[in-house]
Amino acid sequence: MDFEVIIVGAGSMGMAAGYYLAKKGKRVLLLDSHNPPHTEGSHHGETRIIRHAYGEGESYVEMALRAQELWNELQELSPEEIFIKTGVLNVAAPHSTFIQNVIRSAHKYSLNVEQLSAEEITRRWDGVTVPEGFIGCYERDSGVLMSEFCISAYKTQALKHGAIFKPYSPVTSISIYENHVQVNTETEIFTGETLLVTPGAGARKLLPLVGLELPLQEVRKTFSWFDTDEEIYHSDIFPAFAFELPDETYYGFPSINGAGVKIGRHDGGQPRDMDKPNPEFGSYEQDSADVSRFAERYLHKVGEHKLGKVCTYTNTPDEDFIIDRHPKYDHVVIACGFSGHGFKFSSVVGEILSELVTGNHQTTFDIRPFAIQRFSK
């Protein structure tokens, strides 16, 4: 057998898994269509928010805390700054499920979260306005991950522990046998004892190769940078943020290394045709209109819109992840559908996948909420 583990898709999740497996001494092959980090998947645009008190549900908190520990460990090994503790400000109507989940998580796990009124927020940070009657939860110990540096750091460490990485190697077919798998690229054939499928936005096209169809929807997303007064919005003084407005949700980043404030809209976007290139930024009027309107109302001291980019979410119907063994084959593991909030977890997901792939039927975290089975109900 060529390898103990073959990983198809060496992006956020796959590269982290490759590292944890190689560190355990496994013979690992990482295959990717591109050369991660790159701009064709879901991990580019420099930054991703990590929050611990989790608006999407309390059940994510323990994983977020372990993810943070692993990021801190990776930071020790990385020459680049991969985590910046800017704090994160969540803003929403007091009774919204999102902010109530944040408050509940903070109490249950004794997280360092301050609840603030609209007036307290505007008094503390110049340059932000909050809708009347809304509240904020400021989490001091969370912040920003430099996503591309994170993947580079995992790549360096995986290679250091002996993993073999083949970029520009799109997987074209997969055969699953009782005790092994065979994976073909356009030019090579590999055999492995186990297979890990982590293809991000490539999942809907790739999963039929392992006999699966899952309800995934790829969505075109955009994000933008704005000219910024560094004395107001620099990452030393201004937090990352998420605003849940009545019909729209936005998130953003302070100015890091002079890049300017970055803003994206979390809801909305356009369903993607994965056989065509992602329509470039500016193809739709709302690409810059939405974030500019948000900036004008709530970050009124930012300047002009200066740059925009496109990216892709891969959404499941309930926006919870898919992390599971193949329903028919124990030696095939799938992780996809990270629904626009997966990056912060990629460290801990890598660790969980390394547990699953090495034959443990027990993972440190309960992954039942991420089961494939939930879609057959």
Ligand X SMILES: Cc1cc2nc3c(=O)[nH]c(=O)nc-3n(C[C@H](O)[C@H](O)[C@H](O)COP(=O)(O)OP(=O)(O)OC[C@H]3O[C@@H](n4cnc5c(N)ncnc54)[C@H](O)[C@@H]3O)c2cc1C
Angle at 177 between CA 173 and CA 179, to 5 degrees: 130
Per the annotation, the verdict on 43 as an active-site residue is: no
Q: Which one of the spans 18-26, 76-84, 293-301, 309-317 is the region binding ligand X (CB under 6 A)?
A: 309-317
Per the annotation, the verdict on 344 as an active-site residue is: yes
Angle at 176 between CA 173 and CA 180, to 5 degrees: 120
Q: Which is nearer to ligand X, 120 or 340 (CB)?
A: 340
- Element spanning 98, H or E: helix 97-108
What mask, x for binding ligand X by CB under 6 A, covers residues 145 to 174? Answer: -------------------------xx---
Per the annotation, the verdict on 311 as an active-site residue is: yes
Query: Which one-letter amino acid corresponds to residue 221?
Result: K
Query: Which one-letter amino acid corresponds to residue 326?
Result: H
Cα 296 from Cα 58, distance rounded (Å): 32
Per the annotation, the verdict on 161 as an active-site residue is: no
Question: Does the footprint of ligand X cover residue 290 (CB under 6 A)?
Answer: no
What mask, x for binding ligand X by CB under 6 A, covers residues 104 to 123? Answer: --------------------
Per the annotation, the verdict on 129 as an active-site residue is: no
Among 64, 84, 158, 206, binds ligand X (CB under 6 A): 206
**What part of residues 120-139 is at the interface with ligand X (CB under 6 A)?**
none
Question: Does the footprint of ligand X cover residue 202 (CB under 6 A)?
Answer: yes
Write the DSSP string, 235-258. TTTS-EEEEE-SS-EEEEE-B-TT
Per the annotation, the verdict on 150 as an active-site residue is: no
Q: Which residue, chain included where needed, has tokens 């937090």?
A: 239
Question: Does the footprint of ligand X cover residue 254 (CB under 6 A)?
Answer: no
Question: Does the footprint of ligand X cover residue 13 (CB under 6 A)?
Answer: yes
Nearest CA to 162 out of 351, 30, 71 is that of 30
What is the gyration radius of the CA atoms in the chain, in angstroms?
21
Question: Does the footprint of ligand X cover residue 265 (CB under 6 A)?
Answer: no
Q: Is 146 exposed, middle or buried (0-12, 13-18, 19+ CB in 10 A)?
A: buried
Per the annotation, the verdict on 47 as an active-site residue is: yes
| DSSP for residue 234 | B
Write the DSSP string, 265-312. ESS--EE--TTSPPPPTTSSTHHHHHHHHHHHHHSTT---EEEEEEEE
Looking at 51, 204, 262, 265, which residue is catalytic? 262
Question: Does the footprint of ligand X cover residue 264 (CB under 6 A)?
Answer: yes
Q: Which one of the spans 28-36, 85-93, 121-129, 231-239 is the region binding ligand X (CB under 6 A)?
A: 28-36
Q: Which is nearer to ligand X, 99 or 311 (CB)?
A: 311
Looking at 47, 194, 198, 312, which residue is catalytic? 47
**What part of residues 42-61 is at the interface with ligand X (CB under 6 A)?**
42-43, 45, 48-49
| Contact (CB, 8 A) for 251 and 99 | no
* Catalytic residue IDs: 44, 47-48, 262, 266, 311, 344
Residues that bind ligand X (CB under 6 A): 8-14, 31-34, 36, 40-43, 45, 48-49, 170-171, 198-202, 206, 221, 223, 251, 264, 311-313, 336, 338, 340-344
